[in-house]
Amino acid sequence: MSVDSSVSKEVKPESVLLCPLGTTAAPEQKLLCIFGTGDLGRSLGQRLLQCGYRVVYGSRRPNSCGPLPRGTKAMNHEAAAMSAALVFVCVHRENYDFLEALAPQLNGKVLVDVSNNLKKNLYPESNAEYLQRLIPGAHVVKAFNTLSAWSLQNGPSDANRQVYLCGNSVQAKQAVEEMATKLGFAALDRGSLSAAGELEDFPLQLFPEWRLPLRVAVGLTAFFFFYLLMRDVVYTYVEQGKDISFRIMVSLANKVFPIVSLIMLALCYLPGVIAAFLQLYRGTKYRRFPNWLDRWMLCRKQLGLIALGFAFLHVLYTLIIPIRYYVRFRITANTISQIRENRTSVFDTTKAWRADSYYSMGILGFGLYVLLGISSLPSVSNALSWREFSFIQSKLGYLTVFFCTFHTYLYGWDRFLHSYSYKWFTPPGYLLSLVVPSVLIVLKLLLLLPCVDRSLTRIRQGWERTDPEDSSVKALLT
């Protein structure tokens, strides 16, 4: 009672509390410095302001450096460097000369180098190492160089959430990591400052993970284009004297696209099957796969997305078939011919079943194709559990391969039994496209056998097959 009465006497009725009882006042906002008022510097300053930091800019022309985020101020480099303990260097390496004169003011401070180069191996040392050599008393950290001004201004997304950093000072890296986390990014420490060259090469890479899949796609497309050109167009002109070169633009392309799509879809799942048989052969999961298989497995996502792109082209080209002049001419000519000859075509139930099944398998396969592509997007895959993602990409993925392969089998039907399909003794293109997916399906069915699946499951759970020679040696030693 006495305690309550004393508190009530101390707090006047007309007084206003600026913060709730039992809480402390908000801590003072930390001041950060940015050298450079370009697009990246302004976007970084805006993002820092939104996350509760105070920002000051260091500029050669503080009175005429252009529009800056509201709530910031510009100073000369010396004054700005003395005002903050952490400084972002958002200038190009060619303009680092002024920093050497600021060495006394920057001594003991954290310098975050965000610069990049226009080409690889442009200088003998990385920009961050050069900055450290200019100001040996500072703690240089390479970070934020893989982010664009747009991503800084709009905040992190699933595709650019990571911030790579490296430096020689553990405390300096921790300070940068805490700040990156507060900005909404995930910081990944790549080690000492000697790794800065690798970080500076990241933005210069042009689709590094897509090179092999794109080469495969271009190679397959070129091969089947010229192969079908020879069989369909050149053969018809040489043997029958007919010029059907107009079919190159749509008909020939609409044969190449599904062939390449089916093969690349099978190539997306084939390395997983090969890896499973390799584990069965070795009797362990703890041995590395060959380099070629590792590289193949790392680009499976890109193979699948390119295959989906070819499937989209196949669908679009198929949709325009009814409006083509050649098709409308053939339908009209056939109708007029039947009228003149006073005859009608007999309805063939087998062909109807085959056509409907053919289209149905194609629609189901393409629908699952699209589902696989959507689930591979980072924004979607991050919302899925591992079991859900594995079910879509693995179970439904193999079902997609089956539907698309069955679709192709229905397209060919019994044509492979007739000699006219082998022009110049070459097999039709669809028959070649069935080789890889058919092998994949057979191998996958073998892995699904209970005895094989049981052994593979045990191996992937950590069981190892004991080598008879090793066991005999252990028995002698014991």
Enter the DSSP assignment of 212.
H
Cα separation, 248 vs 240, in Å, equals: 17
- Token pair in block for residue 337: 């011919």
Cα separation, 352 vs 389, in Å, equals: 37
Please identify which residue in the block is written with the tokens 């002109």. 237
What pLDDT is stored for residue 13 in this prediction? 39
* Cβ neighbours of 93 (radius 10 Å): 19
Cα separation, 271 vs 299, in Å, equals: 10
Cα separation, 33 vs 82, in Å, equals: 9
3-state secondary structure of 334: helix
What pLDDT is stored for residue 476 in this prediction? 40
| Residues contacting residue 25 through CB under 8 Å, at least 6 positions apart | 18, 19
What pLDDT is stored for residue 151 in this prediction? 80
| Residues contacting residue 338 through CB under 8 Å, at least 6 positions apart | 344, 345
Give exposure, 130-148, as e/b (b: 16+ Cβ within 10 Å): bbbebbeebbbbbbbbbbe
3-state secondary structure of 56: strand
Find residue 167's DSSP bridge partners: 141
- Token pair in block for residue 3: 């305690």
Cα separation, 368 vs 389, in Å, equals: 14
In this structure, which amino acid lies at residue 352? A
Segment (H or E) for 307: helix 300-319
Residue 34 sits at the vertex; the CA angle it makes with 30 and 35, to the nearest 5 degrees, is 155
pLDDT, one tens digit per residue, over 318-338 is: 999 999 999 999 999 988 998
What pLDDT is stored for residue 382 in this prediction? 82
Residues with pLDDT less than 50, the chain: 1-26, 158-159, 470-478
What pLDDT is stored for residue 466 in this prediction? 75
Please identify which residue in the block is written with the tokens 């698309």. 404
Task: Report residue 474 CA to chain centroid gap.
Answer: 48
